[in-house]
């Protein structure tokens, strides 16, 4: 069994990955809220990236796509689930975790990843895209697409697992059958022609 620390570390890693790595999918649940609260000119912490303008644009992209808002929403949804999975962890831990867990800190840590994989032109293009009606639609429908895709993928995975298990069990059963024996009960040896 995993220790609470291991489970919590896994929880944090999964949450971080889901929060901001795919703005179009993960953040869509927060789209209505994010669309009303995006403040691209809000004060930002000291620059993390060498290109301060690109950093500002990446932060705008994350905010526009709702990444910062969905991070908060996901923590608020995941912590109760983790509390159920880890009832031995005191309530104070969860309160302190939620108090200390600032999505802005996660965004700061993700900036170098966005910087690595997206050029400044890419970021600008994504910002433009998310400001279009189609971009807003992507954000709006992503939760439904993700939910339905997850259901289909889960059903497919379960079907594949059942088939592989059945095939494996059939092979194991066939391998466990005793070899045909001769009249004396000893295994029949192959007959070799005399030379």
pLDDT tens digits for range 114-143: 999 999 999 999 999 999 999 999 888 877
Average pLDDT, integer, range 41-48:
55
Computed over every residue of the chain, the mean pLDDT equals: 75
> In angstroms, rounded to a whole number, what is the distance separating the alpha carbons of residues 60 and 114?
12
State the SS3 of 80-119: HHHHHHCCCCCHHHHHHHHHHCCHHHHHHHHHHHHHHHCC
Cβ atoms of residues 37 and 73 within 8 Å:
no
Average pLDDT, integer, range 143-163:
87
13 pLDDT more than 50: no
pLDDT tens digits for range 173-193: 999 887 666 555 555 555 555
How many whole angstroms from its chain centre is CA 168?
A: 30
């Amino acid at each position: 069994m995993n220790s609470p620390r291991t489970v919590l570390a896994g929880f944090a890693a999964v949450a971080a990955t889901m929060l901001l790595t795919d703005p179009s999918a993960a953040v869509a649940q927060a789209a209505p809220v994010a669309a009303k609260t995006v403040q691209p000119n809000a004060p930002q912490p000291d620059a993390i990236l060498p290109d301060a303008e690109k950093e500002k644009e990446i932060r705008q992209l994350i905010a526009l796509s709702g990444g910062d808002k969905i991070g908060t929403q996901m923590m608020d949804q995941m912590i109760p689930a983790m509390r159920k999975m880890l009832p031995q962890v005191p309530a104070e831990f969860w309160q302190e975790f939620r108090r200390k867990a600032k999505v802005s800190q996660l965004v700061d840590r993700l900036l170098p990843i966005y910087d690595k994989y997206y050029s400044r032109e890419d970021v600008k293009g994504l910002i433009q895209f998310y400001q279009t009606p189609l971009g807003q639609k992507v954000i709006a429908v992503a939760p439904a697409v993700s939910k339905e895709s997850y259901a289909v993928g889960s059903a497919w995975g379960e079907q594949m697992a059942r088939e592989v298990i059945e095939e494996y069990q059939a092979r194991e059963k066939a391998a466990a059958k005793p070899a045909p024996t001769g009249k004396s009960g000893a295994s029949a040896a192959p007959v070799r022609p005399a030379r």
